[in-house]
Structure 1
Amino acid sequence: MVQTGSNVGRVALTWRHVDRTVIAAFLPGVVLGALAAAWLLVRLPAGLLELSIAAFVLYSCWGPGLPKRALGRVGVLLAGALTTLLSSLVGASGPMVAAFIKQGQSDRLAKVATFSACMSAQHLTKAFVFGMAGFVFRDWLGLMLAMVASGFIGTWLGLRLLRRLSEHRFDTLFKWALTLLALRLVWLGVSRLAG
């Protein structure tokens, strides 16, 4: 819920930059992925999923890039479904969604706004799934609201900094941040597979 609040706040502050065509293609995939996660009975080992996500992120950052076809409507729909499914299983889809959005957006504000809109949709579906599973949000409402408020302040400060960065500088920082997240996933995946 805190991630939902942070991403919704970021969308509210950058809504003019959201790529609505990406969102229109991503949302049906989010619904499909959430439905699949809700009914999935067989689960792959967590370490394998984390290594797969890390490989995709590293390829997206350092490889030749995704083919144009992957960035079209069908590719975005499949990305929405797959990342939502993975998010529900291991909770680590943020770097994967960011790497995917990075490939299709050239403007730093569009990257941040579109990523935040995609993640808002994913986190809302997870809240629904966890609510159906019995999580009582009311018991944690005060803490969630305080964390969302502090996250909004951080978002506001971060966007002020973002507007001062050049596109090149942002791309470099974004690429390295995703790489560090992917390397962390590699570490977690190997640790879990090793037992």
Structure 2
Amino acid sequence: MLKYQLKIQLEKAKDHARKLKKEVLALYLACKRKDVPWYAKIIPVLVVGYALSPIDLIPDFIPVLGYLDDLIIVPLGIALAIKLIPNDKLDECRLQVEETFKNGKPKNWVAGLIIILIWLILGAWIVVKFFATYSFNGISISNLYFLFCGSFLAAAISGAAGFGGALLLLPLLTYTIGTTMAVPVLTLAQLIGNLSRVLIGFRQIKWKPVLIFIVGAVPAAIVGAWFFAIVPTDIITRLIGVSIIVFVVLKYFKLIQFKPGNITMVCGGVLVGLLSGLVGSAGPMGAAIFLSLNLPPVAYIASEAVTATAMHIVKTIVYQKYIGIGMKEVALGLFMGVGMIIGTWAGKKIIENMPKEKFIKFVGVLLCFVGLQMIVFG
């Protein structure tokens, strides 16, 4: 009898929660209105962001706790948010909901990614607390965890911006397995990550500029990889950083009109391929060139990924011949590649509905940050 009553109460709570969640879309529209005071939007924005996240902070499969956010946290947040928005404005938004969202409600993948980051941080605490003394194949479990998390984050950044993953992973790999093997392992992991970006956006690839770029990039990548062991890469990295920032600033203020024709794309491919072989990745430089094609977000990501994949394949062959990549390094690269596939998918979810103009500005800002990091740290 008690079990039956609890079941009835649980169903009533679920029904109440569903009714409240319908208000989320009205709150979503209210947060976009200019006639709603900014201070009244703060809590509603947080509530709506979490409510529209496709990922729960507490997964539903966890007994009892899995119902906390659906039945308590989100409904309480929605009820509070409703009180903060003026009634007349909210009523107008309620009338607009059905027409505005006839194709389904939006999903907030940015909030979903933040929740994933919280999980990763919690996982890091658990690994360091309970598994710090364990190792596998000569690498500690904690280092393997951080490499996997780094691979996920790197691929999420690359999947959203087309570059930046290598700059995050290279320091982690250098600390874990040393400088000499870090670049070959990074190349293998990036090969897997870029292949996933190619597959995800295959239908939108712009093949003509891609193939022209590869004509210059692949031979240059072979030469760069060959010289990898003898050139002071920190100087080259800083020069790349300066070049990226100058390029973005000039393009933003329209001081240059970069029109990537066939010759320009071949020359750009040579430069990017050479630098990629020397320092492990020249993704930001390649991204700056492909950004000038003014492609839609997914087409830009997938097209740039094709060129990166081609370069990583030839670099892997050269590294294997002159440095020697053992099974330990191959296994580590494949392990990191799994994290990169998941991260690539997450990055695509963030940018697939982003307007092209907003996306170009987003990538430009990230390029400047990356260029500054390259200048400072080399």
What TM-score do the two structures reach when normalised by structure 2? 0.46
Matched positions, count: 187
Q: Flag structure 2 segments of 5+ consecutive residues without an equivalent.
A: 1-187
Helix, strand or coil at the partner of 2:201: helix
- Residue in structure 1 matching 2:212, options 20, 25, 32: 25
- Residue in structure 2 matching 1:143, options 324, 332, 337: 332
Letter in 2 for 1:169: K
Looking at structure 2, the residues matched to 171 and 39 of structure 1 have their Cα atoms a distance apart, in angstroms, of 34
Q: Offset of 1:48 from its aligned partner? A: 3.1
Tell me the equivalent position of 2:267: 78
Task: Report if aligned partners of 2:225, 2:318 keep a CA contact under 8 Å in 1.
Answer: yes
Looking at structure 1, the residues matched to 358 and 228 of structure 2 have their Cα atoms a distance apart, in angstroms, of 44
- Residue in structure 2 matching 1:87, options 261, 264, 276: 276
Q: Offset of 1:43 from its aligned partner? A: 5.9
Tell me the equivalent position of 2:293: 104
Task: Report if aligned partners of 2:222, 2:314 keep a CA contact under 8 Å in 1.
Answer: no
Helix, strand or coil at the partner of 1:156: helix
User: In the TM superposition, what are the counterparts of 1:1-195 in structure 2 within 5 Å?
Assistant: 1-37=188-224, 40=227, 45-63=232-250, 64-68=255-259, 71-189=260-378
Task: Report if aligned partners of 1:60, 1:66 keep a CA contact under 8 Å in 2.
Answer: no
In the superposition, relative to structure 1, how do residues 66 and 82 fare at CA in structure 2: closer, same or farther (>3 Å)?
farther
Looking at structure 2, the residues matched to 130 and 164 of structure 1 have their Cα atoms a distance apart, in angstroms, of 38
Q: Flag structure 1 segments of 5+ consecutive residues without an equivalent.
A: 190-195
Task: Report if aligned partners of 1:60, 1:100 keep a CA contact under 8 Å in 2.
Answer: no
Instruction: State the structure with more CA Rg.
Output: 2
Looking at structure 1, the residues matched to 332 and 356 of structure 2 have their Cα atoms a distance apart, in angstroms, of 36
In the superposition, relative to structure 1, how do residues 42 and 112 fare at CA in structure 2: closer, same or farther (>3 Å)?
closer
Task: Report if aligned partners of 1:59, 1:65 keep a CA contact under 8 Å in 2.
Answer: no
Q: Offset of 1:84 from its aligned partner? A: 1.1
Q: Offset of 1:101 from its aligned partner? A: 0.6
In the superposition, relative to structure 1, how do residues 160 and 130 fare at CA in structure 2: closer, same or farther (>3 Å)?
same
Looking at structure 1, the residues matched to 228 and 348 of structure 2 have their Cα atoms a distance apart, in angstroms, of 41
Helix, strand or coil at the partner of 2:292: helix
Tell me the equivalent position of 2:119: none
Q: Offset of 1:152 from its aligned partner? A: 0.8
Question: Comparing both chains, which one has the higher relative contact order based on Cα–Cα distances under 8 Å and sequence gaps of 6 or more?
Answer: 1
In the superposition, relative to structure 1, how do residues 30 and 17 fare at CA in structure 2: closer, same or farther (>3 Å)?
same
Q: Cα deviation per residue 1:80-102 (whole Å; 9 max; x = unaligned)?
A: 11111111112241110011110
Looking at structure 2, the residues matched to 60 and 66 of structure 1 have their Cα atoms a distance apart, in angstroms, of 11
Looking at structure 1, the residues matched to 249 and 303 of structure 2 have their Cα atoms a distance apart, in angstroms, of 21
Tell me the equivalent position of 2:174: none
Looking at structure 2, the residues matched to 79 and 155 of structure 1 have their Cα atoms a distance apart, in angstroms, of 25
What TM-score do the two structures reach when normalised by structure 1? 0.86
Q: Cα deviation per residue 1:74-132 (whole Å; 9 max; x = unaligned)?
A: 11111111111111112241110011110123311121111111111121121111011
Identify which range, 93-102 or 53-62, moves more after superposition: 53-62
Task: Report if aligned partners of 2:227, 2:278 keep a CA contact under 8 Å in 1.
Answer: no
Helix, strand or coil at the partner of 2:295: coil
In the superposition, relative to structure 1, how do residues 135 and 66 fare at CA in structure 2: closer, same or farther (>3 Å)?
farther
Task: Report if aligned partners of 2:275, 2:281 keep a CA contact under 8 Å in 1.
Answer: yes
Task: Report if aligned partners of 1:50, 1:92 keep a CA contact under 8 Å in 2.
Answer: no
In the superposition, relative to structure 1, how do residues 143 and 45 fare at CA in structure 2: closer, same or farther (>3 Å)?
closer
In the superposition, relative to structure 1, how do residues 107 and 65 fare at CA in structure 2: closer, same or farther (>3 Å)?
farther
Aligned-pair identity in percent equals: 25
